[in-house]
Chain A
Amino acid sequence: MATPKEMLTTWDKVQFAAILPAFEDLEHKKRSKFHSYNYSVADWRVEKPVFNRELCIDCDFCWVSCPDSCFMVEEVVNKRGKKQAKIVGINYNLCKGCGVCVDVCPTPIKSLLMFPEYVDTEEALKQWPKKD
């Protein structure tokens, strides 16, 4: 019987009723070059969301509502010893700039804001609205 890795090489190695792995390289979670994860839709957008880590409360609303799965999360353990997802950034290769994440962000000063594509991320963070 062929191993899952061998099954990915040619079609005649594929076994009946086998679930093929999603990754080309399971250990490093490397996807094949024909996975749309490695395709860029960045040229679709005219405005980009910028993420401000300091204001984020990790509610993960943006993660659940993002149509393009572009929020990168990191698994951390909180004070109560339960695992929770921490937003670490935006994958700009996948973002189409729809703005849903900005719309659902619940913090008083939004921790996600839309900026024109040409504005640098660090420049955008300096322009962030301040609390009066």
Chain B
Amino acid sequence: MKNITNLKEFACTPDRFQGGHRLCPGCAHSMIVREVVNATDDDLVISTATGCLEVCSAIYPYTSWDVSWIHIGFENAAAAISGAEAMYKALSKKNKLYNPDKRVKFVAFGGDGGTYDIGFQSLSGAVERGHDFLYVCLDNENYANTGGQRSSSTPLGAHTTTTPRGRVSYGEKQRKKDLTMIMAAHGCPYVATAIPSTKHWKDLAVKAAKAIETVGPTFINALSPCTTEWKFKPEETTEIADLAVETCAFPLYEIEDGRKLRITYRPKVKLPIEEYLSRQGRFSHLFKPENKWIIAEWQKQVDEYWDYLQRREEAGV
């Protein structure tokens, strides 16, 4: 496991995901990807499900990756990476590897559409078969690549192009699917949540290093604030991510062996959820008098979930 102590040392790592990609200015995807691929010194094989990251980092004839990279469909990023892993295992048994002394690690990236909805069957299957890989979900809570449709990750009351706000509708009517807990229920050796921010950079880097080092299927759910669809200014990306953690809308925790839950960051003062919602244009309609009940519902859900996490950590089950 790579020793990650402080940022000054970590910044000496040569970048393996380079700039010049065509992600939006201020996109959090590339912050997460850079930290994850820099969190190990081993060779990497990466597969990326269709989504913003895949489309923007591989516009013909350019590529932004300094590592081996497979472009694969929306639904089978996990299937492709488990196939690559199985091939490596088979070739190393037969002693047919090109450079057998090098260690190779496998990472898959998917957006929330490719993980929560479309790619869930292949992810669930790959985890169940127990391949040795890390799956990183870049959760921006909508299908940002195709113009911001709702996904099963979109939270309550959010405005998207398929759940528009107006006189009749108040936006998304369902609550967010709790994928991290679903992955933990598969019995993954390591499952964690993370955010891209300067305050929690070490949290993400250490979790990624730990997940890559763990033998067996591992999963990281990383919140990725989307400037275009969440409707905030590009420079506020890290602030919004920080607020999601400070209000406990997206708590940081890790689960080992599907059971042992540990909260990795506790906010000193838990901020009211309005702080997080009011910064984003997609929730601006919730502050009208007729929609106040949605904010109360949000607060209730967040409190209940935070309470549930704390009780689970205490009980150690």
Contacts and interface: CB of A to CB of B under 8 A. Distances in A.
Interface of B: 7-12, 15-23, 25-31, 34-35, 43, 45, 57, 59, 61-68, 87-88, 91, 96-99, 102, 104, 196-198, 201, 227, 233-239
13 contacts: A1-B98, A17-B98, A19-B102, A19-B104, A61-B7, A64-B7, A68-B30, A70-B19, A78-B8, A93-B20, A98-B25, A99-B233, A103-B236
Contacts of B25: 44-45, 67, 96-98
A95 B26 CA distance: 10
A125 interface: no
A1 B96 CA distance: 12
Contacts of B99: 18-19
A31 B45 CA distance: 19
Interface string A53-76: 000001111011111111001010
Interface string A40-52: 1100110000000
Contacts of A41: 19-20, 22
Contact of A17 (B12, B29, B96): B96
Interface residues of A, number: 51
A34 interface: yes
Given A34-B62, A69-B30, A102-B235, 9 more contacts: A16-B91, A17-B88, A19-B43, A19-B98, A37-B19, A60-B7, A64-B198, A97-B25, A104-B198
Given A99-B234, A102-B235, A67 B9 contact: no
Contacts of B98: 1, 15-19
Contacts of A67: 23, 25-31, 237
A127 B7 CA distance: 30
Nearest to B17: A69
B8 A84 contact: yes
Contact of A35 (B28, B45, B63): B63
B20 A65 contact: no
Interface string A19-37: 1101100000001001111
In the complex, the 3 A-B pairs of residues with the closest C-beta atoms, listed nearest first: A36-B20, A94-B19, A99-B235
A36 B21 contact: yes
Given A36-B63, A97-B25, A99-B26, A69 B234 contact: no
Nearest to A93: B20
Contacts of A70: 19
A65 B43 CA distance: 23
Contacts of B236: 103
B238 A104 contact: yes
Nearest to B31: A67
Contacts of A59: 7-8
A64 B29 CA distance: 13
Contacts of B30: 67-69
Contact of B12 (A18, A36, A69, A83): A83
A18 B30 CA distance: 26
Nearest to A95: B19
A36 B235 contact: no
B26 A98 contact: yes
Nearest to A14: B98
